[in-house]
Amino acid sequence: MANSSKRWGNQYACSSSASSMAIFLFVVPLVVVFGLVSLLGPKTSNWVFISNSYPWLWSSQSTSPSLNLTGASNSSSEFPPLNDDVLGLRSSVVVVDMHSIEEAHSDDSLENRSSSPPLSIEAAVPPTLAQPNGTRQDDYANETHVSIMKAEGQRKNTNLGWLEARLRRARAAIREAKFGNQTQDVDYIPNGPMYWNANAFQRSYLEMEKRFKVFVYGEGEPPLFHNGPCKSIYSMEGNFIHEIEVNKQFRTRDPEKAHVYFLPFSVTMLVRFVYVRDSHDFGPIRQTVRDYVNIVSGKYPYWNRSLGADHFMLACHDWGPETSNSDPHLRKNSIRVLCNANTSEGFNPSKDVSFPEINLQTGDTHGFLGGPSPRLRSILAFFAGGVHGPIRPVLLEHWENKDEDLRVHQYLPKGISYYDMMRHSKFCLCPSGYEVASPRVVEAIYTGCVPVLISDHYVPPFSDVLNWKSFSVEVKVSEIPNLKNILMSISTKQYIRMQRRVVQVRRHFEVNSPPKRFDVFHMILHSIWLRRLNVRVHDDQ
């Protein structure tokens, strides 16, 4: 069995090693149960309601395609911005009946359903702003209220209907908070340009704390399930799996009370114990995940009633997106919580979650947080790292050891501390490697260094809440030769503002055990909560 430590009773803690016996004990019953499931077959006579925009948000930022339950996606590698007159305050709903999908798709009422959830919460607009259909917000609010009351009356006798009614009330509360005052909070009140809309974020976070429940499937054994690394570049997998399993506030052991369902497999562990090194064969990983989905869908009704739309997986390993290909509904419908948030590889910001890659070398953040004030940072910009992927060779070609202001190295000179360099730099360069995510982004935030994101197709973590442009610099790969001029053009006053904002948002990236409000664990949950608010599930039985 796996030599994993335990905290808080019988829950599994993070582990970096396991024996093959644990895998054998899991795989044998898995194959047997899968055979039974294949014979019995799942039931799929349910409905799913998909909302194409967060009801309280709107944006001119990049957005993504609508989701439909046939597994087809209107996706492209580049998502066009919403038109300025398309407001997320319109809570239009796409109704998809799995027995008459073609009819639903031909309905004229679904004409505008390609408008999708925005990536950001922007400043509030005047309440008299007209809606695209010609009505004003007050009229639209009344219309929405009537439809909600009607829907509540139709579904109040079922557990799922009760859950959906409470979610509708949460959406309404968040919309109202957008134009109102913030609630007093002795712990933390979001404020400042780091947030697209601080009022909406605070209300959404409080609603999450009050209502959100996660069911963790209990099937599967460590090391592949209910476990993960906590001392590596992929540490957030094990950290999240452990914290959600021991959590008493958000985890529910009654699936009828859950808003979302967690598939607790670790991609890092699958790669370590199932993948055959250098084989380039993803088959064993896909088969393991496929078998797991078949087991939980045969034992419980929840996957089949939504085709996975209220389920989520989490992966910080580079192969997270590839692993989601194991099941077509897992990729197309489910909430994929990924470090490798690459839109060119199918990451869909309307339903998927970008979360930070954090290299916890010692298992915690002790000694890594904090740095000197801006006036004590004498280095303009710093980077040190290996050459892999298409971007870093370009950066090193133009700037390695060529400028005293831009300290760009492949290897640091002996006696030079990596973290000391970050603490004494104004800007920290964060170029993508083989994949878009980089632990340097969080390392920069931890040390009070303004991150410079050099990447293509990357959706930064928590972009639905955080306005990254207010506390980081985004540089296109084509602009690398002009990097110094770009950074030098940022005035001292503006740099100081950005640096202070980095320090303010740091709490959202900190890893704590046990977790603290508004930290990275809660921000991940909040991003999942937002996506769940965008999905409406109805059991027609």
Low-confidence ranges of the chain (pLDDT < 50): 1-13, 15-25, 27-28, 31-47, 49-156
The residue among 39, 41, 24 whose CA lies nearest residue 304 is 41
Q: What is the CA radius of gyration of the chain?
A: 23
Structural domain contains residue 251: yes
Say how far apart CA 217 and CA 265 lie, in whole Å. Answer: 10
Q: What is the β-pairing status of strands 335-338 and 260-262?
A: unpaired
Alpha-helical regions (H) of 134-266: 137-155, 159-177, 198-211, 235-246
> Same structural domain for residues 260 and 300?
yes
Q: Tell me, yes or no, whether 231 lies in a domain.
A: yes
d(CA 66, CA 473): 29
What does the block give as tokens for 330?
A: 């897992």
Cis? peptide before 126, omega within 30° of 0:
no
Distance (Å, whole) CA 15 – CA 230: 7
SS3 454: strand
pLDDT of the residue at 364:
78
Of 208, 233, 266, the residue at which a domain comes to its end is 208
pLDDT in tens, 16-74: 444 444 444 454 455 444 444 444 444 443 445 444 444 334 332 333 333 333 333 33
Q: Are 425 and 473 within one domain?
A: yes
Please report whether residue 155 resides in a domain: no
CA distances from 367 to 260, 360, 420, 428 (A): 35, 11, 12, 19
Identify whether residues 204 and 234 lie together within a single domain. Answer: no
Same domain, residue pair 340 and 235: yes
Give the Cα separation of 134 and 280 in Å (integer): 55
Q: Say whether both 410 and 294 belong to one domain.
A: no
Residues 423 and 352 in one domain: no
Q: How far apart are CA 535 and CA 521, in angstroms?
A: 22
Q: Is residue 370 part of a domain?
A: no
Instruction: Determine the 3-state secondary structure of 378 from DSSP.
Output: coil
φ, ψ (nearest 5 deg) of residue 95: -100, 120
Tell me what pLDDT residue 366 has. 80
Using CA atoms, how far apart are residues 279 and 380, in angstroms rounded to an integer? 44
Q: Are residues 467 and 383 in the same domain?
A: yes
Domain boundary among 208, 232, 264: 208
Burial 227-255 (b: 16+ CB within 10 A, else e): bbbbbbbbbbbbbbbbbbbbbeebbbeee
Residues 450, 426 contacting (CB under 8 angstroms): yes
| DSSP classification of residue 225 | B
Q: Given this model, what pLDDT does residue 32 score? A: 45
- Residue 246 inside a domain? The answer is yes
> How many residues does the structure list for the chain?
541
Structure tokens at 276: 């055959």
Identify any residues that bridge with 130 across adjacent strands, giving them in sequence order.
Answer: 136
Q: How many distinct structural domains can be found in the chain?
A: 3
Backbone angles phi, psi at 185, to 5 degrees: -145, 120
The answer to whether 74 touches 94, Cβ cutoff 8 Å, is no
- Which residues are CB-contacts of 362 (< 8 A; sequence separation ≥ 6)? 231
Residue 482's domain is classified under what CATH number? Answer: 3.40.50.2000
Between the CA of residue 128 and those of 58, 67, 174, 375, 469, what are the distances in Å? Answer: 16, 31, 18, 46, 29
Asked if residue 98 belongs to a domain, the reply is no
The rounded distance, in Å, linking the Cα atoms of 537 and 117 is 17
Would 418 be classed as within a structural domain?
yes
Q: In whole angstroms, what is the distance from residue 188 CA to residue 205 CA? A: 11
Q: Is residue 195 part of a domain?
A: yes
What is the domain range of residue 219?
212-359+516-534
Neighbours of 454 (CB within 10 A): 24
Residues 522 and 504 in one domain: no
- For 538, what's the count of Cα atoms within 13 Å in the CB-facing half-sphere? 18
Pair (325, 386) in one structural domain: no
The CA distance from 322 to 326, in Å, is 8
Q: The sheet that has 353-354: what strands, in order across it?
A: 214-216, 260-262, 311-315, 335-338, 353-354
The answer on 216 and 193 residing in a single domain is no
Buried b / exposed e over 293-304, threshold 16 CB at 10 Å, is bbbbbbbbbbbb
> Do 336 and 355 sit in the same domain of this protein?
yes
Q: Which two tokens stand for residue 485?
A: 């001029």
Query: Does 204 share its domain with 236?
Result: no
State the maximum Cα–Cα separation within the chain, in Å, rounded to a whole number. Answer: 70
pLDDT at 18: 42
| Model confidence, pTM | 0.77
